Structure 1
Amino acid sequence: MRKYFYRLLSNYIRLYARPSDRVIEVDPVSPELREALSGVEGMASDSLQAADVESADYLVFNGNLHFEGDVQAYLGRVRALVQDRTRLVVITYSALWRPVIQLATALGLRRKTLESNWLAHGDVDNFLKLTDFELVRRDSRVVMPFYVPLLSTLVNRYLAPLPVVRALALVNVYVARPIPVAQASRPSVSVVVAARNEAGNIDNIISRVKAMGPDDELIFVEGGSSDDTWERLLRAKDEHPDRQILVAKQDGKGKGDAVRKGFAMASKDILMILDADLTVPPEDLPKFYGAIASGKAEFINGSRLVYPMEKEAMRFLNMLGNRFFASAFSFVLGQRFKDTLCGTKVLTRENYERLAANRSYFGEFDPFGDFDLIFGASRMGLKVIEVPITYRERTYGETNISRWRHGAMLLVMLVFASRKLKFI
């Protein structure tokens, strides 16, 4: 039973902590978890030093909070050592299972020491806030902690994550981040624009994208246009020698490919995507900049579904589809997304490079470029926040989105993400 249970637990931790990450289990109560995870270090909290954890990507606390006499002081000591990029994976056990756990202890199936703290979700969240951590994601897992062929897989993989069943789960997995300290310097921005058949919008983009950081750049990636978009980009670069404007032709097809090429060309601290159709006003980009530069979040997603939008900005069936996919992906990802398909997304270059280095977990499956980033950010435990924008009508050209074909692709990606992130 113990071997099966710890194998389950290691799967949930490995969803976030990839083999290339440095993972430290703090105050390990037994060696089973580290054996199941492989490559994880164990370290006592009273011997932790800043040098030990400054390169750590994840600190794992498996049941520790149940035994601490002063949880706030315990987490406070940890907060003083960790870097902004470090994530805490805190595992607690549900009080509903207390009689079963006590019986297992009496039968010698687990360690003799009984838990002294039985913490509700609100308690864990409160302790994190008191010690300058912020909860990013919570999962409830494991309804059947012992192995029965086929049945255990059905219950723990497919039923336990469901809204009603998860209230009965034994294990709670919390992912938290340190609340970052405000930086004195202002980071610069690389704004990436995928441009296909958008010749009439190029001048507008350049004139309306204003400076946010001290040394911003504007990157256009052209994607096989049938109009004179490429020629217009070359002229615009020559006409604005005072602006850092980079232009390139994409190698493959689709917005996702163009965005990845633009991000590879980027040299600034913050990466932004701006759709070339200008349905998201460039004047709203400073709102995204403020949200990420202040540390409020690490992945900023635009939302077109808060403010009233212009009459022809989005067709009715498209809006219904957006709302459905937003709800479905919010459930799968464990973080709220009101509008997954808004093209404007922002993250730091450092986090993007970490995301790209581990893209093989999902693969290069996303022709839009949106879900590649959303899925990766979710798996990394990045804090997500949405910035509402007023969605505008397209004034030049025609949309590159096919409602039914791309809708079917989104359904495929939803199923794919469910298997990779939720039903594991």
Structure 2
Amino acid sequence: MPDRTDVCVLLPTLDEAETIGDVIEGFHEEGFEHVLVVDGDSTDGTRAIAREHGARVITQSGSGKGQAVREGVEQIDQPYVLMADGDGTYRPEDADKMLTPLFAGRAEHVIGDRFADMEAGAMTRLNAVGNRLINRLFATIHGRDLQDILSGYRAFTTQSFERSQLSADGFGIETELAVECVRRGVSTAVVPIRYEARPGGSETNLHPLKDGGRILLTLYRLARMNNPIFYFGSVAAVGTAGGVALGAFVGYRYLTAGVSHEVLALLAAFLVLLSVQLLMFGVLSDIIVSIHREQSRRLDDIADQLEEQNDE
């Protein structure tokens, strides 16, 4: 049975001097020996404080949370990773909830649901609305309701992480992880956690509008590979609406003023035809994706059977 020695706590940080010491101590008190801090070249002494509290510290070679997480996992030898933020909003006491599905073999990836028990003032109203919107869009696009895909409290196996194709450098990493779990059939569990307000004196690195826009673009971009009907269908819907509106204007002008707009009429027809082609392309892509998923599932089953035979 796995235990805490098989887990590395991963903390991506940037200017978290006010809180990082307490966060590391909290995980040490919960029995975690391996704590890795991947720091984005902080200027407030975050790295020195983390070392003083017994964490292993590396300075990330790039920038952004996503790049820090990918680089950190590459440095981890343990089979399980418990990822949290260094700002004190996630409780080390919830680690057991996060790790139980992994240790029991029920899941390869676990998401901590912040909305299950959120302290008053822990999230602004704007952030709360944005989170709810993104979660609804994710459920619509990818067909899975993971409740809180933007949660930074995650537990996963290094093996499942390595199977994922991740490229987001910023806060889109959580969205990308959720999409990859659905896309690759990674068994995923959601557990309730406590989400607390940032301690006084610490400042968030999240910019709601800018980072929220990037997350939405990441979510839409990734739909191309997991739900091509939605991706191409949404473009087709916009094109069709534009073509119909333009055609209606041409018809109105011809009936009321006797003016024919041949160029606009041709453009309207082109938009509608292009939209139909995009929709058909989306349908064909969806069939290909479905076949790929089935083949991947069969290959995984064969690999599991071969592994069991080798163990015997």
TM over 0.5: yes
The answer to whether the 8 A contact 1:190-1:270 is kept is yes
Please tell me whether residue 199 in structure 1 is matched to residue 17 in structure 2.
Answer: yes
Alignment CA distance shift 1:332-1:233 (3 Å)? same
Q: Counterpart of 1:314?
A: 123
Instruction: Determine if the alignment matches structure 1 residue 246 to structure 2 residue 56.
Output: yes
Is residue 337 from structure 1 mapped to residue 155 from structure 2 by the alignment?
no
Contact 2:109–2:160 under 8 Å retained in 1? no
CA distance in 1, matches of 2:131, 2:84: 19
> Is 1:223–1:254's contact at 8 Å kept on the other side of the alignment?
yes
Structure 1 counterpart of 2:107: 297
Q: Matched residue pairs, number?
A: 226
2-structure distance, mates of 1:403, 1:343: 15
Q: Is the 8 A contact 2:17 2:44 kept in 1?
A: yes
Q: Structure 1 residues 199 and 205 mapped into 2: Cα distance closer, same or farther (>3 Å)?
A: same
The match for 2:91 is: 281
Of 365, 370, 385, 2:168 maps to 365
Distance 1:289 1:372, change over 3 A: same
Map Cα deviations across residues 185-228 of structure 1 (whole Å, 9 max, x no partner): 54610110011111121221122114778x74100011121211
* CA distance in structure 2 between the partners assigned to 1:219 and 1:379 by the alignment: 28
Deviation string 1:340-364 (CA, Å, 9 cap, x unpaired) is 1110111111111222xxx2xxx61
Q: Give how far 1:290 is off.
A: 0.9
In the alignment, what sits opposite 2:42?
Answer: 225
Q: Secondary structure at the match of 1:190?
A: strand
The amino acid that maps onto 1:388 is P
> Which residue in the other structure is 1:54 paired with?
none
- SS across alignment from 1:275: coil
Identity between Structure 1 and Structure 2 (%): 30
Matches within 5 A, 1:21-420: 184-186=1-3, 188-210=6-28, 216-237=33-54, 245-307=55-117, 309-355=118-164, 359=165, 364-368=167-171, 369-395=173-199, 396-420=201-225
Q: Which amino acid aligns with 1:387?
A: V
Question: Partners of 1:263 and 1:332 in 2: how far apart?
Answer: 28
* SS of match in other structure, 2:9: strand
Preserved contact between residue 189 and residue 212 of structure 1 (Cα < 8 Å): no
In the alignment, what sits opposite 1:120? none
Structure 1 segments of 4+ aligned residues over 3 angstroms from their partners: 184-187, 210-213
Matched residue, 1:109:
none
CA distance in 1 between partners of 2:41 and 2:106 (Å): 38
Q: TM-score, normalised by structure 2?
A: 0.68
Whether the aligned pair in 2 keeps the contact of 1:366 and 1:372 (CA below 8 Å) is no
Quick one: structure 1 residues 271 and 312, their matched pair in 2 at CA, closer, same or farther if it must change by over 3 Å? same
Verify the 8 A CA contact 1:327 1:337 in the aligned structure 2: no
Deviations 1:286-317 (A, max 9, x none): 1101121112222101111122x222200111
From the superposition, tell whether residues 201 and 192 of structure 1 become closer, same or farther in structure 2 (CA, over 3 Å).
Answer: same
CA–CA separation in structure 2 for the residues paired with 1:380 and 1:306? 27
Q: CA contact under 8 A between 1:284 and 1:389: conserved in structure 2?
A: yes
Contact 1:332 1:417 in 2 (8 A): no
Contact 2:175 2:219 in 1 (8 A): no
- Provide, for residues 40-78 of structure 1, a one-character-per-residue CA deviation record: whole Å limited to 9, x for no partner: xxxxxxxxxxxxxxxxxxxxxxxxxxxxxxxxxxxxxxx
Indicate conservation of the 8 Å contact 2:20/2:87, yes or no: no
Question: Which protein, 1 or 2, shows the higher relative CO under an 8 Å CA cutoff with sep ≥ 6?
Answer: 2
- Matches of 1:306 and 1:186, distance apart in 2: 26
Give the secondary structure class of the aligned counterpart of 1:340. coil
Using the alignment, how far apart are the partners of 1:385 and 1:336 within structure 2?
A: 11
Task: Check whether the contact 1:192–1:273 (CA below 8 A) recurs between aligned residues.
Answer: yes
Q: Deviations over 1:108-133 (max 9, x none)?
A: xxxxxxxxxxxxxxxxxxxxxxxxxx
Q: CA RMSD in A?
A: 1.9
Q: Which amino acid aligns with 1:229?
A: T
Q: Which runs of 5+ in 2 are unaligned?
A: 229-284, 286-312
Q: TM-score, normalised by structure 1?
A: 0.51
CA displacement, residues 68-125 of structure 1 (integer Å, 9 cap, x when unaligned): xxxxxxxxxxxxxxxxxxxxxxxxxxxxxxxxxxxxxxxxxxxxxxxxxxxxxxxxxx
Q: Secondary structure at the match of 2:205?
A: coil
The 1:232/1:223 distance shift into structure 2, 3 A limit, reads: same
Give distance in 1, aligned partners of 2:19 and 2:121: 18
Deviation of the 1:320 alpha carbon: 0.9
